[in-house]
Structure 1
């Protein structure tokens, strides 16, 4: 059985978070079960982009503080590292409040810049991942619970995509991002290359709607933890009311018979699951109804069955972030506004995810509009 620990934490007040994290880990044997004295422990938060903590885009700094203190309490050497979707890791860490916590606690900040090539064992033959991520003695995964326009949900497994450094993220979106199932398989293979020793989920305030960068903060009041990232994700999705058929990462895990992918093999501990009353998260905009279509139809009807990004000129400041973050280089600035090449666009929505001004909307294709109307009627 895979244990997933749950604890109620109503706010980010430092003492409440500290006690909540201690109780959360106590149900799993305490931090001393995962970290030994002298071990270098990489804590990997979500550092998606340079947003303040209240935006719920990144892991909250008080969660990071509590975990660093727990690692230090048992004699571990705390390192903190990630590679953001856009901008420098230091800038994102500073804006999110995490850099101040790192400096106050005496932890070491290790931005992911240097890479190491590792061999894959599945669909993908080779990956370049951050060297600190691969070489730390222990790995603690510290994701934020958020909806995700491409993967429906981002939590433990998806957070590990941060081990892919800088522009390589765009390369992977270009290689696998046009197919959600293929992209989910890639995420699972990254996870298998270095499975975390411990996963702790910040769901005190989660994100719903058009996450992971443009959604709305929503109070959930929970922390989750467990050794198995897939199992923790499955319980998080259950609490968030996300249908299993939309969990691409979980589906990929089940297809590969990965441990943690079966609900009957998961035991929840700590705060009783049956006593939790969590409102289902509002899911992202439905942007794709191609599931199950043969390849030749997907190619021909792609524009009709999917959504495409469009600019809201009133909000767009032509900052160029979307141009830099677009894997297939499908965006240009012409005539004083953004222009999209929809033949090249792979519908990964990295542009929407990273736009600092929430200036990008989605326009549904004709058949997608019809499918939504039919779904609503039934």
Structure 2
């Protein structure tokens, strides 16, 4: 059985979150069950973009602080690393409040700039993965519980996409991002290259709506932990009320037969699931009929069926971040406004995910309302 622990924590105040994380890890044997004295332990938070903690885009600094403290108590050396979606790691760490914690605790901020090419054992032949991610003695995954416009939910497995460095993320979106099933398969193959020793989910202030970067903060008051990231995702989705048919990573894990996808193999401890279950999260505009239509029809009508990003009039500052981040180069700036090539657009929504102004919205495909009546 895979054990996933659920705990409640109403705030990030030290006197609340500290004891809550200790209670969270106790049924798993405490931090000492996962790290040994002298080991270099990489903590991998969600550092998507330079946003304040109250925006719920990144892992909260209070959670990072407590985990660093527990790693030190176990006699290990804490490192903190990631490859942000936009901006340098130091800028993202500073804005999100994580840098202050790293400096105060004496942990080491590790940029993901050097890569190692690793041969895959699945559909994808090789991956360029951050060297610190692969070479750390232990890996502790610290995701944020959020909705996601492409994968419906981002949590434990999706957070590991940060091991792909910089512009290579756009390359993977271009290679696999036009097909959610394929993208989920790619995420799982990255997960299998280096499975985390422990996952601790920050769900105290989660995100719903059009996540992972433009959604709305949602006070869930929860922490989750487990050794199996897939199982942690399954329980996180259950607590958030997200139906399995929309969970692309979990469905792909089932097809691959990965340990953790089957709810009957997961034992929950801590707070009972029925006590922790939340009103269903408000989900993003995932209206692209990835299921329910034959592939041949879906491909031909894709432009008219799928939701697509669009500019909010007057909100865009023309910074060019969306244009530069777009994997298929489907965005241009002309005559003082954004222009989208929707036939080239792969609907990965990286533009919305990374826009610092929240200046992009989603427009539903012209035929989508009709099709929804029949699928």
**What TM-score results when the alignment is normalised by the length of structure 1?**
0.97
Distance in 1, matches of 2:277 and 2:215, equals 22
Cα distance change of structure 1 residues 123 and 277 upon mapping to structure 2, 3 Å threshold: closer
Structure 1 partner of 2:9: 9
Distance in 2, matches of 1:270 and 1:296, equals 47
* Structure 2, unpaired ranges of 5+: none
Q: Give 1:152-301 correspondences, 5 Å limit.
A: 152-301=152-301
Question: 1:248-284: per-residue Cα shift (whole Å, max 9, x none)?
Answer: 0000100011000100000001122232241211111
1:329 to 2:329 alignment: yes
Look up the SS of the partner of 1:27 in the other structure: helix
Tell me if structure 1 keeps the 8 A contact 2:205–2:217. Answer: yes
Which 10-residue stretch deviates more, 274-283 or 175-184?
A: 274-283
Look up the SS of the partner of 1:202 in the other structure: strand
Look up the SS of the partner of 1:81 in the other structure: strand
Question: 1:23-64: per-residue Cα shift (whole Å, max 9, x none)?
Answer: 100111000000000000000000000000000000000000
Distance in 2, matches of 1:325 and 1:125, equals 24
Which 10-residue stretch deviates more, 285-294 or 235-244?
A: 285-294
1:86 to 2:86 alignment: yes
Which 10-residue stretch deviates more, 253-262 or 285-294?
A: 285-294
1:60 to 2:60 alignment: yes
Following superposition, the deviation at residue 111 of structure 1 comes to 1.2
Tell me if structure 1 keeps the 8 A contact 2:2–2:228. Answer: yes
The count of residues paired between Structure 1 and Structure 2 equals 375
Distance in 1, matches of 2:241 and 2:293, equals 26
Question: 1:94-123: per-residue Cα shift (whole Å, max 9, x none)?
Answer: 000000000000000001110000000001
Structure 2 partner of 1:98: 98
Structure 2 partner of 1:109: 109
Distance in 1, matches of 2:353 and 2:275, equals 34
Tell me if structure 1 keeps the 8 A contact 2:240–2:277. Answer: no
Look up the SS of the partner of 2:367 in the other structure: helix
Look up the SS of the partner of 1:366 in the other structure: coil
Distance in 1, matches of 2:252 and 2:290, equals 17
1:43 to 2:43 alignment: yes
Following superposition, the deviation at residue 305 of structure 1 comes to 1.2
Look up the SS of the partner of 2:302 in the other structure: helix
1:146 to 2:146 alignment: yes
Structure 1 partner of 2:349: 349
Tell me if structure 2 keeps the 8 A contact 1:313–1:337. Answer: no
Distance in 2, matches of 1:164 and 1:275, equals 37
Tell me if structure 1 keeps the 8 A contact 2:328–2:344. Answer: yes
Question: 1:133-179: per-residue Cα shift (whole Å, max 9, x none)?
Answer: 00000000000000000000000000000000000000000000000
Following superposition, the deviation at residue 79 of structure 1 comes to 0.2
Look up the SS of the partner of 2:82 in the other structure: coil
Tell me if structure 1 keeps the 8 A contact 2:4–2:268. Answer: yes
Distance in 1, matches of 2:171 and 2:25, equals 37
Following superposition, the deviation at residue 292 of structure 1 comes to 4.7
Tell me if structure 1 keeps the 8 A contact 2:40–2:78. Answer: yes
**What TM-score results when the alignment is normalised by the length of structure 2?**
0.98
Distance in 1, matches of 2:210 and 2:371, equals 20
Structure 2 partner of 1:311: 311
Distance in 1, matches of 2:373 and 2:358, equals 26
Distance in 2, matches of 1:256 and 1:131, equals 27
Distance in 2, matches of 1:97 and 1:373, equals 46
Following superposition, the deviation at residue 374 of structure 1 comes to 5.8
Structure 1 partner of 2:369: 369
